[in-house]
Amino acid sequence: MTPLVRPARPADLDGLVKLENASFVTDKLSRRSFRHWLTTDHRALLVAEADHCIAGYILIIYHPGTRLARIYSLAVAILHRGTGIAKSLLLAGEQAARADGRLYLRLEVSIDNTPAIKLYETLGYQKFGIYRDYYQDHKDALRYQKRIRRYRDTLQHRSVHWLRQTTPFTCGPAALMMAMHGLDRSYSPSREEEINLWREATTVYMTSGHGGCHPVGLALAAKRRHFAVEVWINQTGALFIDGVRSEEKKQLVELVDTCFKREAAQQGIPIHYANITQSELIKAFNAGAIPVILISTFLLDRKKAPHWVVMSGFDDDCLYMHDSDPDDDRQSEIDCQFIPIAREDFDRMSCFGKNRLRTAVIIWPGNGVDAGT
């Protein structure tokens, strides 16, 4: 008998908790977690009914601002395993994710869960990585992905090791370290290096708290580490000054901006005062560079904060980014790697502030490649 797959309702809470506790020994969703997912947005929580009971469920999380969905959890009651319920839930979950405009669906599965792996591969999921020591019992997880809309070109990607920023204000250094390590494996990121990069590139002040990183400051830091660099900025005035209220602080931000640009001229770092386009980003990426791009987080968290990310790939529909700052409420580290940003969304995301600042730092291998070629 084909199970009834439907959206979960608050009345399903007890049944979901009972199924979860019967299905998993570790890495279990709590009652509080289920209550959260039953009432929040940015997710699909579906249940399969059989014999008037919950025989299975699937939880898929949608990440705001991206076209990525992730199968967070899938469980089928022991008595109903092998009856096609898992497949029905997966297919219904894919349809829900497609309806929400998602392009990719990702999941993790224990390396020894052979039946689940066989099902995923049968349904077209492709293995794209492994996550060591992923589960509470220290087992590894295989990473799978399926493109659920428009099967066209394969992803053109760069092997960029993901790093988590260790402070709220060092997204720029974390992004720069990812790019430099991606271009030169002998370069060694560290927390000390992260702080040193921030000290070299900081604007000193921002709207509040510690200063962020100036694109030219990041370029100079990469140049000191023997990488070739170029900078794109779509405005000539001092950056990040609009949100600084104190006149004294504004003057200091302007001074830092002037000093960075003067040193860049002395170091022969090209600064293009123009909008960098998606085509130019892709051209640089294909030529061997790794772009570090400033975005606004508004589409991600509605906070309108400036944030540096790393371009890690592209295809016909998306640009892919590494983000050093997981949202602890929704994201794990793997959700922050190869994040698909739809082409039509990228231009809105990659500008910041009322002046619509658009800027990127293009990092090239330090082996004689001329920036911009």
- Rounded to an integer, what distance in angstroms lies between the CA atom of residue 232 and that of residue 365? 18
Q: Is residue 201's pLDDT more than 90?
A: yes
Report the distance separating Cα 289 and Cα 180, nearest Å: 10
Alpha helices in 268-322 (DSSP H): 278-286, 298-301
Indicate the number of domains in the chain.
Answer: 2
Give residue 47's pLDDT.
97
Q: Given a cut of 60, is residue 82 above it in pLDDT? A: yes
Mean pLDDT for 63-91 is 90
Residue 186 lies in a domain: yes
Please report, for the domain that includes residue 120, its CATH number. Answer: 3.40.630.30
Residue 317, pLDDT score: 78
Instruction: Identify the domain containing residue 354 by its residue range.
Output: 171-364
- The Cα 54–Cα 17 span in angstroms is 10
Out of 123, 151, 179, pick the residue that ends a domain: 151
In angstroms, rounded to a whole number, what is the distance separating the alpha carbons of residues 187 and 243? 35
156 falls within a domain: no
Q: Return the amino acid letter for 143.
A: R
* Mean pLDDT (the chain, rounded): 88
User: Does residue 182 share a domain with residue 330?
Assistant: yes
Pair 297, 359 in one domain: yes
Alpha carbon 371 to chain centroid distance? 26
Percent of the chain predicted with pLDDT > 90: 59
* H or E element in which residue 95 lies: helix 85-99
Looking at the structure, do residues 28 and 58 belong to the same domain, yes or no?
yes
pLDDT for the residue 67: 81
**18 or 245: whose pLDDT is higher?**
18
Do residues 226 and 337 both lie within one domain? yes
Across 369-373, average pLDDT: 40
Say yes or no: 187 and 315 in one domain. Answer: yes
Q: Are residues 21 and 145 in the same domain?
A: yes
CA atoms within 13 A on the CB side of 251: 3
Residue 33, helix vs strand vs coil: helix
Chain CA centroid to CA 135, Å:
21
pLDDT by residue (tens digit) across 221-252? 999 999 999 999 999 999 888 777 788 888 98
Coil/strand/helix, residue 249: helix
In a domain, 91, yes or no: yes
Distance CA 260, CA 266 (A): 10
- CATH number reported for the structural domain that contains residue 299 in this entry: 3.90.70.10
Give pLDDT, residue 301. Answer: 54
Residues 146 and 203 placed together within one structural domain of the fold:
no
Asked if residue 71 is part of any domain, the answer here is yes
